[in-house]
């Protein structure tokens, strides 16, 4: 799963892009901000994917 796929999934769960700085997209919902790295089609590592899932509460895989 790459960064763009993660962002698409988070948007479907009510998250929005707050800002973009470099390759980091800051996703926001309810005052919480979670960074999602986007490096083209490069896959996100398992541990980072698990951390994003834990912070957002959204099952990504």
Q: Where are the alpha helices (DSSP H) in the chain?
A: 3-12, 46-56
What does the pLDDT look like over 27-58, one tens digit per residue? 999 999 999 999 999 999 999 999 999 999 99
**Rounded Cα distance, 36 and 24, in Å:** 6
User: In the prediction, which pLDDT does 17 show?
Assistant: 98
Tell me which DSSP letter residue 24 carries: E
Residue spans per domain, the chain: 3-56
Q: Which pTM was predicted?
A: 0.92
Give the model's confidence band at 13: pLDDT under 50 very low, under 70 low, under 90 confident, else very high.
very high
Residue 61 has pLDDT above 90, yes or no: no
**Rounded Cα distance, 25 and 19, in Å:** 6
Please give the CATH number for the structural domain made up of 3-56. Answer: 3.30.920.30
**Rounded Cα distance, 46 and 29, in Å:** 23
């Amino acid at each position: 799963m790459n960064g763009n796929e993660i962002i698409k999934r988070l948007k479907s769960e009510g998250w929005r892009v707050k800002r973009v700085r470099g390759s980091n997209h800051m996703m926001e919902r309810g005052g919480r901000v979670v960074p999602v790295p986007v490096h083209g089609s490069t896959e996100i590592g398992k541990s980072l994917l698990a951390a994003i899932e834990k912070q957002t509460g959204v099952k990504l895989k």
